[in-house]
Structures are given as structure tokens and as C-alpha cells.
Amino acid sequence: MHSRRSFLGLASLAMLDTARGAEENSPAASLTFGFITDVHHGTHGNDQQPRLRKFIDAAIARNPDFIIQCGDFCCAKGGLDACRGFLTEWERFPGAKHHVIGNHDCDFQAKADLLSAWKISNRYYSFDAGPLHFIVLDRNNYIDNAGKIIPYDKGNWYPIHRKGGPGHLARVSCIDEEQLVWLAKDLASTEKPIIIFQHQPSGVGSHDGNWEDLNQVIDSHNASRGRVQVAAVFCGHDHDEQVAIRHGVHHITLTSATFGMPLGGNTTYYDGNHPPFTFISIDPAKNELVIEKGDSAYENQSAMKPDLVWVDPPRLAARRIPLGGQLSC
């Protein structure tokens, strides 16, 4: 991995190639995709299928280029057969559909079972849509007592997660070396602006696992190109909207479509008629990615104890993300 000094050196050298960067940073076409995360069907009731239906109805009406769910989608205690209705709801959208594996998706299933049920070929992959390149990552691995990275499989990560103590969170939500090597090669294979999807955050929120190794690959690639080619990393997992900018990369955690966890750790459900989800599109004139605003409210918030009521209601703020912005160090 590169040191910070080598990172800055790469950035300085690569900035000389400004002509190529300007040409490559201008999307020539529009693009829209639908985004939903942390629906939690199967283990964290309630009403997940109607919540998903709201999203699918909106997606059918909008006809985006694709839709994507960002993990903790179908954590099926009763087995994936018990989720047929839920998955059939997802399949109602006639266009391209993409999946990110979340930690709770692996509570009762192996990853191979998820790939089969979700009709995707691999746990991590990339694809092009319009003028952008998209990457889906899998952070669902843990480090065992021997220091080996082990894939999540039927809840095998819980003993490490629940153990507690100093450093225990560094052993969960890990990305494996095979994937890091693949990621570096995939980033280098395209000149298009890049968007990454993963379930667990790596730039804001819960910094579990070897997230710094992942960011080192991203930051080093952007430095080698002399621009913020990886423009954004979209995540779920934390159930609350959070944003941070690291070396020009927007790390964005978007809120759960089902529930939040306000003060006291209480599970509080969003209004099932207005579950949080969003549509994200390109503004070609400004060369920006536009996240649409989405509002929701807690169910029965008026009956909650005052110390458990969040000051700000759950929402997805309208945001704009530059595509191919300048490096910041």
C-alpha cells in the first residue's frame, strides 16, 4: 500500500495530465437509478414487503436505468423459500436490478444461497450504465482467532461481534485481499467516473473492519489519475444518513427503509406509507450526481417518551456530488 507521502507524490505528478482528465470527466448522457437499503425482510419486522412495494411502484413509474438495494435486504430466518413473495415483489421491476450483500443477509444463509436467490453471478462485481462505471463490493468477512479472513456464513460472525473488548470491531465487516486486488485492477480498467456500492461504511459512521485498506486502494487510484475518478461510495448499515468527504470522495450512508435506532437503542419504525428511498441521477450540464430528497416520519412518534424522540425527523437530504472533481489532501 502507498504511504501518505507517495499518495501526495502521485497526486502531484498526475495533475500534469489535466487535458485528458477534463475530457474524461464529462458525462455525455443522462442516467437515473433507484436506491433502497436495509429493508430487513425476515428478521426485523414489520411490513417490509409493503415498504418494498412502495419503492418498486415508484421505480416502475420512473423507469430508471437500474435499481439497487444496498444490503440487509432479505435476512430470512425461515429460509429463502419464506421470502418468495418479497423477492417476487422485487422482480416486478422489469429493468436491471442489482444487489449488495449485507451482514444480516448472512445470518441464516450462505452467500452462495443469496447469489442464487438474487440472480447475481458473484458477491462482488462491476458494471457500466450510461456514462458511469459502478462497482459492488462485499465487506462481509471476519478475522478468526488465527488471523484468517473467513466469509460470513449462517451467522458465524456473531461470536466475534458480541465478544466486545478492544479491537473486536476491527475483526468484522472486513474486505478480503482477493477483492482488494480485483478492485485495484477494475478501477484501472475504466476511464469513466466511478461509483462504489457497499453495505458497511468506510468513510463515515461505523468504521468496522479493515476499512482503511479499502480506502487506500481508492485514494491511491484517484491520485494516480490526478482527479477524483471514484466520485462516491454509497452505503447502508447504520440506518441514518451520514456524509463525509475524504480526499474529494463523497462517502454517503443512506438511511434504512424500515427502521431507525434513536437514543437508547430502541428500534423505531418509519412510516410504512412513506419509507425512505431515493432516486439518483446525473445532471449532464453541471457534471454532477444528484440525490433526490426523501422524507419520512416515525410511526407513533407522538406516543414516544420525550428522551427517545429524535430532534430531526428521518430524511434523505437533496445532495449534489461532483463527477471528476479535484483532489483534496
CATH code for position 286 = 3.60.21.10
Handedness of CA 164, 169, 172, 177 (dihedral sign): negative
In a domain, residue 26? The reply is: no
In a domain, residue 22? The reply is: no
Q: Residue 322: CA atoms inside 13 Å, Cβ hemisphere, count?
A: 14
Pairwise CA distance, residues 207 & 173, whole Å: 9
pTM: 0.88
In a domain, residue 112? The reply is: yes
Residues contacting residue 317 through CB under 8 Å, at least 6 positions apart: 241, 291, 293
Cell of 178: 482477493
Q: Residue 150: CA atoms inside 13 Å, Cβ hemisphere, count?
A: 19
The per-residue pLDDT for 1 is: 44
| Composition of the chain by helix, strand, coil, percent to 5 | 30, 25, 45
- Identify the residue whose cell numbers are 462481509: 140
Any idea what DSSP says for residue 270?
B
Residues contacting residue 84 through CB under 8 Å, at least 6 positions apart: none
The per-residue pLDDT for 296 is: 80
What is the residue range of 267's domain?
Answer: 4-14+32-322
Give the total number of structural domains in the chain.
Answer: 1
| Phi/psi of residue 301, nearest 5 degrees | -65, -30
Instruction: Detail the DSSP E strand segments found in 95-140.
Output: 96-99, 125-129, 132-136
The per-residue pLDDT for 273 is: 87
The per-residue pLDDT for 329 is: 56
The per-residue pLDDT for 167 is: 64
Q: Would you write out the chain's pLDDT as a tens digit for each of its 329 residues?
A: 444 434 334 343 333 343 344 444 555 578 999 999 999 998 776 678 999 999 999 999 999 999 999 999 998 777 788 889 999 999 999 999 999 999 999 999 999 999 999 999 999 999 999 999 999 999 999 999 899 999 999 999 999 888 765 567 888 999 999 999 999 999 999 999 999 999 999 877 666 889 999 999 999 999 999 999 999 999 999 888 889 999 999 999 999 998 877 655 567 788 888 899 999 999 999 999 999 998 787 776 666 666 655 555 566 889 999 997 777 65
**What's the gap between Cα 54 and its chain centre?**
20
In a domain, residue 327? The reply is: no
In a domain, residue 25? The reply is: no
Pairwise CA distance, residues 81 & 159, whole Å: 27
To 10 degrees, the CA torsion angle through 310, 254, 78, 155?
Answer: -100
In a domain, residue 23? The reply is: no
In a domain, residue 329? The reply is: no
pLDDT tens track for 196-229: 999 999 877 666 889 999 999 999 999 999 999 9
In a domain, residue 295? The reply is: yes
